[in-house]
Amino acid sequence: MALENTAIQEKLVETFAGDVFNFQEERDIFSFEINAKNNTAIILFLKNDPELRFHFLTDLCGIHYPDNPIDRQFAVVYHLHNWYENKRIRIKAFLNGENPEIKTVSNIFLTANWMERETYDFFGVNFIGHPQLKRILNMDEMVSFPMRKEFPMEDGGRTDKDDRFFGRTIDNC
């Protein structure tokens, strides 16, 4: 493979210094973290740099980490793919737990439009500058963000089902 992880890392660190960090090869995907404030510049650079050419946004989704410190409770994950060299990378941007917001990349990748709407719908992440940030899969009247960990999957008042008999507690299921 022509495009080496170290080359990507060097190029990014050279341009963005402390905004890109925690580089690691995670199984088969090279992944790193970015400073959420600078996400558009970094992703645009990855897309347009003549050597990196990460021109395809494979996937964008959110993750909730309620046990993390307050400024790292949400993450937005970008999977980028360079088809010329067949190289994938994963980028994580951690966001504040109380006011999760990040700039939109829908003007860089058209496909991010609905992916960001989906992330907003499920996690309540505010994508600044998004052209139409409203719910997509859930109904408009919904007030909560169902993929957050605190959102219960079942009606808490249910009495016909006792999971304790199966070794399950609130913590391990």
Quote the least distance from Cβ 121 to another protein, whole Å.
Answer: 9
Nearer to another protein, 4 or 10 (CB): 4
Polymer length of the chain? 173
Q: Answer yes or no: are the C-beta atoms of 120 and 133 closer than 8 Å.
A: yes
Task: Output DSSP code: residue 117.
Answer: H
What is the SS3 assignment for 66?
A: coil
The 23-62 contact track toward another protein, x by CB under 8 A, reads ---xxxx-x-----------------------xxxxx-x-
Dig out the tokens for 84 from the structure. 């010329």
Contact flag: residue 3 with another protein (CB under 8 A): no
Separation CA 89–CA 92 (nearest Å): 10
Using the rule CB under 8 A, which residue among 32, 78, 94, 122 binds another protein? 122
Chain position carrying tokens 């890109």 = 20
* 13 secondary structure, DSSP code: H
Radius of gyration of the chain (CA): 18
Nearer Cβ to another protein (69/131): 131
Question: What does the binding site for another protein look like in residue numbers (CB under 8 A)?
Answer: 26-29, 31, 55-59, 61, 63-64, 77, 79, 83, 86, 88, 90, 109-111, 113-115, 118, 122, 135-139, 146-147, 151, 153, 166-167, 172-173
